[in-house]
Structure 1
Amino acid sequence: MDEAEFLRGRVYGADHDDAGPRSDRAYAELVGGPLDGLLLDVTDGTDHGSGEVALTTEIGRYGPGGRALYVRRPGDGSRFDWRGDAPGAP
């Protein structure tokens, strides 16, 4: 199994031992980029209200501490599309 297959269906930011989705939470799929196939917890919506997220990742262009930028797909709240990578905060 390659890295992409391993990550698919797992929840971004969850512990490796408990990375599967939970029935009491709502998720959106990350599409494209380094986090492709991961699920983003959007249950409360407060962190994602603008429809844009910058998610910390170790596997993007900027390596450990870098950010993967995703934007909610217009008309489809269940998907966030990759828009690029950014360096992490200094």
Structure 2
Amino acid sequence: MSDTRPWIYGTEHDDPDPRTPEPGHVYVQLVGGPLDGQLLDVTGYTPAERTDPEGGALLMSDHGVYGPGGRSDYTPRPGDPDRWDWQGDTA
């Protein structure tokens, strides 16, 4: 039986449990693009940074348009700060 819990973005390939959120941390779900469905730890973000549609994060992704070394742009979804939407990839 496969594990259906979302992968945590940034966990190491040898992490024994890359799908278990850390207690006390805050996560958002990435929607669309190469990181679709993964969780991003935003514990260090202020509440304003977690909801600012002009903010977000450029996340390294080997599976985006630019391959290894490329980044995927995710920004908070207006009205649903627990989800960040993919805006595209950049080199």
The 5 A counterparts of 1:11-90 are 11-16=8-13, 17=15, 18-20=17-19, 21-45=21-45, 49=49, 50=52, 51-87=55-91
Calculate percent identity across the aligned residue pairs: 50
Q: TM-score, normalised by structure 1?
A: 0.79
Number of equivalenced pairs: 83
CA deviation profile, 1:34-75 (whole Å, cap 9, x unmatched): 0000000011205x9253211011010000000001110011
What is the root-mean-square deviation in Å for CA atoms of aligned residues? Answer: 2.4
In structure 2, how many angstroms separate the alpha carbons of the residues matched to 1:9 and 1:84?
21
- Residue 9 (structure 1) shift: 0.7
Q: TM-score under structure 2 normalisation?
A: 0.78
Contact 1:33 1:68 in 2 (8 A): yes
